[in-house]
A = this chain, B = another copy of it.
Amino acid sequence: MHPIEVLISKADTAINQEDFDTLLDFYSDDAVLVIKPGMNAVGKEQIKKAFEAIAIYFEHSLDVKQAGMALLETGDTALVLATTVVSAKSLAATERKATYVFKKDKDNQWVCAIDNSYGHDLLKADA
């Protein structure tokens, strides 16, 4: 497994366990998380608040997993294209074509800089 695949798997576990302090380690300090098309959280504080709100919204039943992944990497930058499956008590399993950008931080560790689980659905929000 690529190191980034390992990170994504650990991040999914952290989301599902609502272990948000661990989850934040996977993000760069200036990371952008798409909460929903048109609404972004920027930076660790906003990202933590977003995940806390999402957990409450889904009544602590959110489950995130990856059902397929392709990775393009060059130097200190990587693009992940994933089939991400999201489910919850009130949400039947939904496939999203997610796009994640990772970069290497100053300690040469991969961190997620852009977390967009909605992929091209952002374009619909613009329309």
Contacts and interface: CB of A to CB of B under 8 A. Distances in A.
Interface of A: 28, 30-32, 34, 40, 42, 68-70, 72-79, 81-83, 97, 99, 101, 103, 113-114, 116, 119-120, 122-123, 125-127
Contacts of A34: 72
A114 B68 contact: no
A40 B125 CA distance: 31
Contact of A114 (B31, B72, B113, B120): B72
A72 B77 CA distance: 15
23 contacts: A28-B74, A28-B75, A30-B74, A31-B74, A32-B73, A34-B72, A40-B72, A42-B74, A69-B126, A70-B125, A70-B126, A72-B116, A78-B114, A79-B79, A81-B99, A81-B116, A81-B119, A81-B120, A81-B122, A83-B123, A97-B97, A119-B119, A119-B120
A117 B116 CA distance: 17
Given A68-B126, A72-B34, A77 B120 contact: no
Q: What 10 A-B pairs come out closest when comparing CB atoms? A: A70-B122, A97-B120, A77-B113, A32-B74, A30-B75, A79-B114, A30-B74, A68-B123, A79-B101, A72-B114
